[in-house]
């Protein structure tokens, strides 16, 4: 197998049906990869108010009680998966802020892929925006797999949307280890020049045509080089707006899993808002693999 094959899968759980489905899918995935699973629940301490509702009388529920309750619920969740690979997951309960700490705790456990179940059956973006999942994606420092499809649904059609970055190449490599596909497409989209930039430059028509031709020739060359590096994928080069083109491809091809590299500053998805990753999470109906740009050095 590839050296990008995940060996330790960390499933985040809030004990919801979506988390149960993610655990079931991860169990089957771990079995095929020869990987191990941790089932991670992060408990956020809540203040307990007095019977009189006096805010000044609030106290924090004891950490031992929270740990015990979390561990008991983890055991019950694993019991629901008895007889399946998911039942072999190691239960882990931690105190923290899920929105901030899920990714960090998954990394501290030695995980190399964090798995999240999407709650909303229709539009993942409705739940992700401002939610624990959205914040987790922003703060994670390892690849994240967001699952919304049935645990039994195969990844027959896979799409990797690449910009040639190191994160995109890592996403392609990981996707190759996860899916036994019948169709794998590698899409490279060449966008038009930004209108705002053109309005500032105000180039002469001849200069503009020469610039457009030069940039497109470079893009075609880079796409050809990438296609040769990934012969298992059906490579396509498109011209157009990146987000619209990728979303149309996902819908028209009925894609099951889309793999994207992500990059930003600070948290690795710091630039997610308004980006391709955000649009795919919000508007597509498939599972999504998000892989961060490797750290420099």
* pLDDT at 87 (0 to 100): 96
User: Can you name the residues that pair with 289 across neighbouring β-strands?
Assistant: 145, 259
Q: Is the C-alpha dihedral spanning 250, 256, 259, 262 positive or negative?
A: positive
Residues 6+ apart with CB under 8 A from 31: 85
Hey, what domains does the chain have and what are their CATH numbers? 1-49+61-149 (3.40.50.620), 154-297 (3.40.50.620)
pLDDT at 297 over 50: no
* pLDDT at 206 (0 to 100): 78
For the ranges 78-87, 158-167, 257-266, the lowest mean pLDDT is seen at 257-266
Segment holding 183, helix H or strand E: strand 183-190
Q: What percent of the chain has pLDDT above 90?
A: 50
Residues 6+ apart with CB under 8 A from 257: 155, 157, 158, 159, 175, 178, 179, 286, 287, 288, 289
pLDDT at 166 over 70: yes
> What 3-state class would DSSP assign to 196?
helix
Band (61; pLDDT cuts 50, 70, 90)? low
pTM of the model: 0.84
- Contact between 256 and 131 under an 8 Å Cβ cutoff? The reply is no
Across 39-58, average pLDDT: 64
Q: What percent of the chain has pLDDT above 70?
A: 78
Band (144; pLDDT cuts 50, 70, 90)? very high
For the ranges 1-10, 80-89, 235-244, 261-270, the lowest mean pLDDT is seen at 261-270
> In whole angstroms, how far apart are CA 192 and each of 1, 77, 272?
39, 50, 21
Place of tokens 């967001």: 146
Residue pLDDT, tens place only, 65-116 = 778 888 999 999 999 999 999 999 999 999 888 878 888 899 999 999 999 9
């Amino acid at each position: 197998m590839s050296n990008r094959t995940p060996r330790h899968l960390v499933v985040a759980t809030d004990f919801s049906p979506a988390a149960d489905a993610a655990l079931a899918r991860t169990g089957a995935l771990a079995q095929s990869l020869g990987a191990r699973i941790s089932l991670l629940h992060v408990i956020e301490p809540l203040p307990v108010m007095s019977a009189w509702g006096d805010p000044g009388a609030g106290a924090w529920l004891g950490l031992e009680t929270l740990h015990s309750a979390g561990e008991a619920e983890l055991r019950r969740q694993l019991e629901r998966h008895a007889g399946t690979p998911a039942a072999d997951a190691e239960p882990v309960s931690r105190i923290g802020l899920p929105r901030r700490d899920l990714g960090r705790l998954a990394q501290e456990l030695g995980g190399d892929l964090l798995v999240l179940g999407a709650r909303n059956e229709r539009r993942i973006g409705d739940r992700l925006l401002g939610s624990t999942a959205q914040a987790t994606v922003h703060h994670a420092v390892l690849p994240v797999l967001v699952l919304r499809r049935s645990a039994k649904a195969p990844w027959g059609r896979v799409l990797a949307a690449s910009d040639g970055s190191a994160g995109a190449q890592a996403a392609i490599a990981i996707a190759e280890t996860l899916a036994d596909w019948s169709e794998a497409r590698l899409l490279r989209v060449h966008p038009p020049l930004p209108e705002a930039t053109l309005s500032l430059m105000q180039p002469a028509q001849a200069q503009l045509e020469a610039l457009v031709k030069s940039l497109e020739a470079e893009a075609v060359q880079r796409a050809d080089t990438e296609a040769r590096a990934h012969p298992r994928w059906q490579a396509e080069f498109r011209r157009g707006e990146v987000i619209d083109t990728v979303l149309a491809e996902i819908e028209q091809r009925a894609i099951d899993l889309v793999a994207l590299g992500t990059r930003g500053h600070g948290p690795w998805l710091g630039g997610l808002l308004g980006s391709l990753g955000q649009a795919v999470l919000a508007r597509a109906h498939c599972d999504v693999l998000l892989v961060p740009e490797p750290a420099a050095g």
